[in-house]
Amino acid sequence: MNTHRVDAPDLDDEALVNRRSEERIPAKFEVRFSHKQEAARALRAYSLNISAGGLCLRTQKAHDVGSPVSLEMIIDGEAFQLQGVIAWVRDESEAIGVRFTDVSESDRLRLQRVVQNIKR
């Protein structure tokens, strides 16, 4: 399993936060996800935080950085089906970072609205 961050293998947490274009907000909700090549095997995980650009999940399944994933989640009453890529993996805390990819403008706006509602 690859445990490095994409494009930033030596950055610490503070530097990683500063690279994000969207603020991450602590939020816990269920996420069903699968690797595209394993679409029939949907797995469940729980979020630790979210932004309009991605989220952090706690999971016990091994993941490789760069792997594409499909996500289904309901956040603050809004259902989302999004595509993403595993951006980083931390074995010691069983956490992964997912960067959303190919997000439609309407989903991006909904994500921003939901994140702002959670932040309040």
Q: How many CB atoms lie within 10 A of CB 72?
A: 15
- Distance (Å, rounded) from C-alpha 20 to C-alpha 9? 15
pLDDT value of residue 100: 96
Q: How many domains does the chain have?
A: 1
Three-state DSSP class for residue 18: helix
3 within a domain of the structure (yes/no): no
What string of DSSP letters covers 76-117? Answer: TTEEEEEEEEEEEEEGGGTEEEEEEES--HHHHHHHHHHHHH
47 within a domain of the structure (yes/no): yes
* Predicted TM-score (pTM) of this structure: 0.75
Domain span at residue 107 reads 13-119
62 within a domain of the structure (yes/no): yes
Q: How many CB atoms lie within 10 A of CB 49?
A: 18
4 within a domain of the structure (yes/no): no
CATH code where residue 112 lies? 2.40.10.220
- If pLDDT is split at 50, 70 and 90, which confidence band does 25 have? confident
pLDDT tens, 35-64?
555 555 557 789 999 999 999 998 878 788
2 within a domain of the structure (yes/no): no
Average pLDDT over residues 63-89: 92
